[in-house]
Structure formats: C-alpha cells, structure tokens
Amino acid sequence: MPHVIDFVNVSTSGLESSPVAPALAGLRANEARYIHNKYKLDFATVPAEGTETLAWVTKILADERGIVIDSPALEVAEPPVPGIRWAYVFYESGLSINVLYELAEGGKHAVGFKLSDGMEVPEELGSFKFARQKSKLAGTIRGSYFVIKGEY
C-alpha cells in the first residue's frame, strides 16, 4: 500500500531502522515538497524490497559505475511525472538516490545522490564530490550526481 509523504508534518514512518531517521525523513519530505510544488503530484513511497524500481536503480548503478550500495533499501517512490521515469530509493544509512530519465529522444538521464544530515559518505561513493545545500526540512543535504550514458 503506497504511503503519501506529508512534507508539512514530517514522519519517520518506514524509516525507523535508520540511525539518522529524522534527517532521512526530512530529506524524503524535501523530495515530496519538490515534486508537489513542481508537478502538483503526491509523493508516495512503498517498501523497497522486491520492487522493480529498486531493481532498475540497482542495475543502472552497477552498469554505469560498478556501484553496489551496501546499505539496505527501505523505501522507493516513482512519482508519475509525464514524460519522465523518475525513481527514488531511500536507504537505511541515510542515503537517497534518484534516477531522472526523460523519455523523449535526447532527454536528460542522470543519477543523483543525497546524503542525510549526520551520515558519513558511503565508501562506495567516496570518489564523488558532494555540494552542500540547506533545507528547512532536512538540515544540510550533501548532493552529487552523474550522467547516465546507456539506455535503460
């Protein structure tokens, strides 16, 4: 059953096992607010285990950069944005990964990483440089990305 994320009253529901659950919940709420404000869509998550969304993101990370995320995935989301396959995965460590894949010929294809406030950079992402961003919902978010070269 999908769980619509409330970005006004931030909840750690579904993220309780994370050592940085409040910060990860703020990061998830920050993403929900962005999707709501830009596309007027609800941001709904489901448990990650066994989902096609998690499999797709995992394949892109492995194929493009040989990245395997050590932390268990807790939740995934795929807001129904017209013309875009946009997948989010929230990990127990506090990591959030999103894949933006525009469906039009020549569209943008990228993977974004965001680190919750209070978590260390995971070893598997040590080669990336992270920029800082302030968020009322999530504190300080550190983010990085790479462009997807293959077709998925």
- Tokens in use for 11? 């909840």
What are the pLDDT tens digits along the chain (152 aa)? Answer: 799 999 999 999 999 999 999 999 999 999 999 999 999 999 999 999 999 999 999 999 999 999 999 999 999 999 999 999 999 999 999 999 999 999 999 999 999 999 999 999 999 999 999 999 998 888 899 999 999 999 99
Q: What is the pTM of this model?
A: 0.96
Q: What are phi and psi of 80, to 5 degrees?
A: -80, 65
- Tokens in use for 12? 């750690």
- Tokens in use for 104? 């039009």
Q: Domain boundaries in the chain?
A: 3-147
What does the angle CA 6 – CA 30 – CA 102 come to, to the nearest 5 degrees?
105
Following CA atoms 18, 22, 28, 31 in sequence, which dihedral angle do they give, to the nearest 10 degrees?
-150
Please give the radius of gyration of the chain, using alpha carbons only, rounded to the nearest integer: 14
